[in-house]
Every structure is written in structure tokens, then in C-alpha cells.
Structure 1
Amino acid sequence: MTGSGRIDSNIPNVARMYDYYLGGYHNFAVDREAAEKVLAIFPDTPAAARTNRRFLQRAVRYLAEEAGIRQFLDIGAGLPTQGNVHEVAPAGCKVVYVDNDPVAVAQARTLVEDLPDVSVALADLRDPDGLLADPHVCGHLDLTEPVAILMVSLLHFVPDDAKPGRLIAQLRDATAPGSHLVVSHLTLDGVAEAPARQGQEVYRSSTAPIVPRTRTDILRLFEGYDLVEPGLVWLGEWRPDAPGGPEEVSHGYGGVGMRPKY
């Protein structure tokens, strides 16, 4: 992506690669070429991407139906795909999608332009104050009431020197008690060194190098939150719709935390 908001079709875009894994059509030849390199190393990546999407949907249903959340802030929402938050959450819930990619934001706004309860902000997690002050966020959500912050397949594109834990803490402290955090995060736990290195090499030539983390490192991102059962687990194991059903392919961990009400 260039600074002017024009599409750079010469560099693989991680959001478009993810769209390709999900079977979408918002991608270019350069994205498909890079994605196919990943698939040659990890052939089950599309299945893992679908598992990740189903985790997001289960988390949103839990938050709306059991935790009583009516406001959702989806950061790093990327390109429009099937099963968006506003399509899963009950009618009347407020949803704000946030991304730092102008083209993704433009596409998302086209998708939801007729939906009064949905807004889209061009903002960046690395500037939490600016994100929360964006009129598409603060004009749509009431941060004095609980809100769910969604960071699904986002934080493994945030390098350690950007201090993701500190960024999350700033957002946490700006939300009301009873607010929630949803995280899914890629890991290389259990992956052999050679394919892990090869996969990371593909992403080094993309718009966002990938930073897989261990379960222990991901757990630290929930500091200040109480983890909801079953805690931080493989994505397919987080409150599955059919316990004991077919095992889902997971390349990462997922969890939901609540900011204590006391």
C-alpha cells in the first residue's frame, strides 16, 4: 500500500493473502503467489484460517448472548469476509471496524454504508489515543459502557519493539469495567524449525512480517484481564459448537478476557 491509498499490487498484502486462504476474491496474483508458497509449507493453512474465523464468531456470540456486550471494536478487521462481526452479533449492537489500510477501509465502508449501527475507522493500533479519538470510533461507541475489543489475527503482525502489551493496556484502561478483550494469535509451538523459518521468510517480503509467539508470551497480553473459561487454548478448543466433534485445525491460540468489574 502506498501512502496515497493506491493499491501496490507488487507486494503481497497479508489481508489479501488471508482472504485467499478463506476462498475470497479480494486478492491479486502477487498475493496468491505468496500464499501458495505458504501452502506448500503448511497445506492446512486454509482450514486453520476457517478455524480462526469460527473462533471469532463463537466469541462474538458468547459476548452478546452470555456477557451482555452490545458494543464491539474490531481492530485490524482487514478486508470484508463472510461472517463479519455485525452479521453475527444481534440486531442493535454497535460495531466499529478499524484498519490502517485505506483500501480495506474503503471496501468495508461500501459493505456497511446502509447499516446505521456499523462504522468503519481508518486508524492504527500503534496509536491507541488517536484510534479512540477517531470520530468513527468515539462518535459511535460509548466507552463509559462495556465494549469488546477484538484483535483477531492482528497481534502476530505487531513486532515486539512496538510493545503490543503496552498498546493493549492503553486500550484496556480507556474502557469501562466489564469490557472484554478477544485475541487470536499465531504460534509456532510444536512446529519444526525448518518449516517455521520458511514460513516466516515468505511473510518478510509482504506488507507485514509475521511474529509468532509462544502460549506464555500470548498469555502476557491479557494482563489486567480475567480469562474466561476455558482460558487461552487452541482456537478450535475455545467453546466449540459441538464438543467432541471433528477436531479443527489450529495454528494459533485464542482467548477472551474480561476487565474486572471491581
Structure 2
Amino acid sequence: MPAPTWDPQQYLRHSSHRSRPFHDLLARIPDLPTGGHPARIADIGCGPGNVTALLADRWPRARITGFDNSPEMLAKAAEHAGPTEGGGSLDFRSADAAGWIPDEPYDLIVSNAALQWVPGHAESFPAWTEALAPGGILAFQVPGNFISPSHALLGELCDSPQWRERLGSHGRRFVHVLEPWEYLTRLTDLGCEADAWETTYIQLLQGEDPVLDWVKGTALRPVLTALADDEPACEEFLAQYRDLLRKAYPPGPHGTVFPFRRIFAVARRVA
């Protein structure tokens, strides 16, 4: 299955809602054990770099690298690269989270809404935590809404007789997320002090067909990539999916309510 082609502008259309969980994750990350030295930070699956830049606000002296395997996302992220106001630096490199192995010690390894794309991502935790400096932090959040109507309907439509042969596997790509207790257990088993939790954000989206507009930036990317060379088929699929979403998420007087569950974990390597 080819990797999805990403559209940074589409992804950023809902940037305030998408970045809110990262703000909440940052608030739960304790001070880093740098001993007064600038922190070394990795952002795995950095996307367009907008939330990576928030790391420089929290740790202005840090040397921060964002990693992503999407050329489109890295091109957008490059707009944030360079020296930071606190004397640190921000750069971006090409790397696949599925195979990324730290080649130097880190004080913080963080990931925002990326690991759900990586089958077996928890198997990387031993190498990642081993690369942390004593007292260093691994922190991430992943969507946990894959049984919600937005994603269930996408999977069912891809599995329907009309689309099964062409798209059957594209709508169920997000089964790689563990439950909060499973992340807690995995990280504690590695000798970390860990915390895990979940939050459901009750998002109020605006505009016409806003849930469709949301998933065009994320869950729908594999389908859009698969149908990129067949515009009539793409438009037909989108129309069918749009109609299903309109029934599942009817607009209200103030917008369209779109609940979204997120799963968080913060683990500290015991010094």
C-alpha cells in the first residue's frame, strides 16, 4: 500500500483544534533534566512543524529536530526552521517513525498524533526510552476515536461492494492504537515512571460539511491518494461519504459537534 500523500494546507485548516491536545500534553511534561544545559529534543512525525515550534516556546534554548517521512509536510515545516529567540535551534529531517532509532541521547522524545500510522509502534519504546538521558521524557498523544462514526463509516464504505477491491484496506488503517492502560503497562515495564490518560474533546466545527473537511486532512488521505488518478471515482466516493457524515453529524444552531477522543502518555526514564 503506497504511503498517503499529505496536504499541509488542508491539515492546518483545523489547526486550533488539532494543536489543543499538544498544548495539553506539554502542560503535563515536567522540567527536563538538563543540568542547566540546552535540552536535546526530537519530535517524531512533526507534520507541518506548527506544533514543533511550540517546543521552542517551552524550551527556548533547546536544540530541536522534527522528523517526518512526508516531503510535503517537511517543505511546510521548513518555514519554522532556524535559530530560536532563546538561542536554541529548530531543524527538520526526513525519517520514518516506523524505523527511527535515536543516534544520540535525548532529553525529550515527543510525538503528536503520528504513531497511529505506525503498526507496532510500542515495539520502539525500548529503544526510545534507552536513548533518553537519565530523567528524560517520552511523551505522545494519539487519536483514540477509530470506532467513532467518522472512521467506522469510512471503513464500511471502503469495504462496500463498489469500493472493496480498490479501497478495502484503506479505510481501516488506524487499528494500531493501544488503550491508555496498555501504554502505561508497556512503559512501566521498561522501568519508567509513567502516566497515561484520555480526553474526549467536544469540538464545535464550522462551515459546510466540516467533518468531511476535517478527515480530508488525516484519515481520508490514503483514500485520496489511491484515487488521485481517477477524479470521477474520487468525487463519487466523497459524495457518498459526505452523505453518511451528514447523517452521523447533523449541523446544529451553533455549528457541528464532533467529539474526538485522544490518548496521552508521559514516561520518565528513572535516573
Between the aligned partners of 1:14 and 1:59, the Cα distance in structure 2 is 30
How big is each residue's C-alpha offset from its partner over 1:65-121, in whole Å with a ceiling of 9 and x where there is no partner? 999882221111101326723442232122111111122223222321344522212
**Pick aligned residue for 1:218 from 169, 172, 183:** 183
Judged with a 3 Å threshold, the aligned counterparts in structure 2 of structure 1 residues 123 and 50 are, in CA distance, closer, same or farther, namely closer
How big is each residue's C-alpha offset from its partner over 1:182-235, in whole Å with a ceiling of 9 and x where there is no partner? 02122249x66x5552255689648x932343223333442425345xx21124
Which residue in 1 is equivalent to 2:225? none
Q: Tell me if 1:148 matches 2:108.
A: yes
Q: Tell me if 1:233 matches 2:190.
A: no
Secondary structure at 2:65's aligned position in 1?
strand
Partner amino acid for 2:152? R
Between the aligned partners of 2:139 and 2:123, the Cα distance in structure 1 is 16
Between the aligned partners of 1:209 and 1:14, the Cα distance in structure 2 is 18
The structure with the largest strand share of the pair is: 2
**Pick aligned residue for 1:178 from 131, 135, 148:** 135
Which residue in 1 is equivalent to 2:82? 113
Between the aligned partners of 2:72 and 2:97, the Cα distance in structure 1 is 17
Partner amino acid for 1:176? A
Between the aligned partners of 2:113 and 2:8, the Cα distance in structure 1 is 10
Q: Tell me if 1:197 matches 2:160.
A: no
CA RMSD of aligned residues (A): 3.8
Q: Tell me if 1:209 matches 2:173.
A: yes
Between the aligned partners of 2:140 and 2:55, the Cα distance in structure 1 is 18
Between the aligned partners of 2:43 and 2:54, the Cα distance in structure 1 is 8
8 Å CA contact 1:52–1:250 kept in 2: the answer is: no
8 Å CA contact 1:225–1:257 kept in 2: the answer is: no
Question: Greater CA radius of gyration, 1 or 2?
Answer: 2
8 Å CA contact 1:227–1:255 kept in 2: the answer is: no
TM value normalised by structure 2:
0.58
Judged with a 3 Å threshold, the aligned counterparts in structure 2 of structure 1 residues 216 and 17 are, in CA distance, closer, same or farther, namely farther
Partner amino acid for 1:213? L
Judged with a 3 Å threshold, the aligned counterparts in structure 2 of structure 1 residues 250 and 177 are, in CA distance, closer, same or farther, namely farther
Identity %: 14
**Pick aligned residue for 1:21 from 3, 14, 35:** 14
Judged with a 3 Å threshold, the aligned counterparts in structure 2 of structure 1 residues 59 and 15 are, in CA distance, closer, same or farther, namely farther
TM value normalised by structure 1:
0.60
8 Å CA contact 1:95–1:117 kept in 2: the answer is: yes
Q: Tell me if 1:253 matches 2:208.
A: no
Between the aligned partners of 2:112 and 2:51, the Cα distance in structure 1 is 15
Secondary structure at 1:107's aligned position in 2?
helix
Give 1:82-161 correspondences, 5 Å limit.
Answer: 84-115=53-84, 117-129=89-101, 132-133=102-103, 138=104, 143=105, 147-159=107-119
Judged with a 3 Å threshold, the aligned counterparts in structure 2 of structure 1 residues 121 and 83 are, in CA distance, closer, same or farther, namely closer
Judged with a 3 Å threshold, the aligned counterparts in structure 2 of structure 1 residues 232 and 86 are, in CA distance, closer, same or farther, namely closer
Between the aligned partners of 2:54 and 2:155, the Cα distance in structure 1 is 29
Between the aligned partners of 1:218 and 1:16, the Cα distance in structure 2 is 32
Between the aligned partners of 1:80 and 1:202, the Cα distance in structure 2 is 32
Q: In the TM superposition, what is the alpha-carbon distance from 1:257 to its structure 2 partner?
A: 0.7
8 Å CA contact 2:145–2:260 kept in 1: the answer is: no
Which residue in 2 is equivalent to 1:63? 31
Secondary structure at 2:92's aligned position in 1?
strand
8 Å CA contact 1:156–1:213 kept in 2: the answer is: no
How big is each residue's C-alpha offset from its partner over 1:132-162, in whole Å with a ceiling of 9 and x where there is no partner? 34xxxx5xxxx1xx51110221221112xxx
Judged with a 3 Å threshold, the aligned counterparts in structure 2 of structure 1 residues 209 and 17 are, in CA distance, closer, same or farther, namely farther
